Amino acid sequence: MGFGLKGLAAAAGILLFISFCFSVKITHTIDLAERHLSTATLSTEIQHLQAQLAVQKQEYAGLQHQLEQLELASNLSEKHTAYTHGTYQVPPVHPPAKASYTQQHKLAVLVPYRDRQEHLALLVSRLHSYLTVQGRDFTIFILEQSPELLFNRGALLDAGFRILQASDYDHFAFQDVDTLPTTRGNIQYSYPTGTAPLHLTPFRFHPAANFEDFFGGISIFTREQFEKVNGYGVNFWGWGREDDNMRYRLMQHGMLPPEVPQVPRKHRRFYFDHQTHGKALEWRVKGEGSDAVYYGVNPDVPYGSAKIVSVQPHLMQDMSSGLNSTMYWITNVQANGPAVQFTVRLHCDELSTPWCSKA
């Protein structure tokens, strides 16, 4: 499928190897002028250089592991090509005759995920069949966050985009695991045609949306659109509000209103099913500074003197964090049916968002 990661991995591997060799060479290039140093001084210098070399070796090993994981992802994506167009038996789903299908563009579906295995299994199965029937050239990528920190949907999606940044995918669907397209609705996962992204699940389309400015569920950005807004803000630890911040970013860049599906208005469950689950904890804070206490609670509980951390203006209006500041490590890559699943460990700046480690 021309995944693009193999070339990236090979080039990065060469650079790492050169860097590694340079580090090794340090211990062998002591200038002749240093021969007058005492034996003790020379021994201390050698020990210092050897310690630096040990650090370089550790960094090299870690980066080499990352390259191996990216190479594995490339291989899995190539296998997906055969799976999509060869051996996979698509259930008999018959779209309307007037539907428009195309493989002119290449779609990456990014699914942020944690601890909803049943939801994930149903989504991958249905979405793979759904997009195959639409005739799209696509791959589903699952972004599973490792357990050290609170869930961060925005940072996961930024990480997924950056993992694929050297690939030839030209539009990206940011897909919630609990939102399932229905065959009767046949909403198209299309390439956005204008300057604004395509929001597949606006108010009155998403079964759980309860306000007009809702921007959650499923949205599709071109590569250029997502880079223009610097991706999602990365400071939304715990479920929610990264989509509100994304809407603010779009507004600031003159990219509202988004495109929406041009279909007849019907009952909201006509186009999408919503997999039910318990309400996620809402993170709040009492006190300030060193006296601040952060805690998670059911969002229906009155907050009294506490503040909801994610709705503070400096977070909701944040434009500086995003693709440029997302830090992550790929700890595992594996196939999950027709999808490619990354396990991603995120970084948190506890000085700016001290509640992130309350997982």
Say whether pLDDT at 318 is over 70: yes
Say whether pLDDT at 231 is over 50: yes
- Residue 58 pLDDT: 64
Query: Is the alpha carbon torsion for 148, 152, 155, 161 positive or negative?
Result: positive
Confidence band of 96 (pLDDT split at 50, 70, 90): very low
Q: Which long-range contacts (CB under 8 A, 24 or more apart) does 7-13 make?
A: 7/166, 8/70, 8/166, 9/67, 9/70, 9/71, 9/74, 12/63, 12/67, 13/64, 13/67
Say whether pLDDT at 310 is over 70: yes
The chain-wide mean pLDDT, for the chain, equals 81
Say whether pLDDT at 2 is over 80: no
- Residue 52 pLDDT: 66
pLDDT tens, residue by residue, 151-179: 999 999 999 999 999 999 999 999 999 99
Say whether pLDDT at 216 is over 80: yes
- Residue 232 pLDDT: 97
pLDDT tens, residue by residue, 35-66: 555 676 677 767 777 776 776 666 566 656 66
Provide φ and ψ at 168, rounded to 5°. Answer: -105, 20
Say whether pLDDT at 252 is over 60: yes
DSSP states along 340-359: EEEEEEEP--TTT-GGGG--
Tell which wins on pLDDT, 270 or 304: 270
**pTM, two decimal places:** 0.74
Q: Rounded to an integer, what distance in angstroms lies between the CA atom of residue 44 and that of residue 358?
A: 44
- Residue 80 pLDDT: 44
pLDDT tens, residue by residue, 196-213: 999 999 988 887 777 778
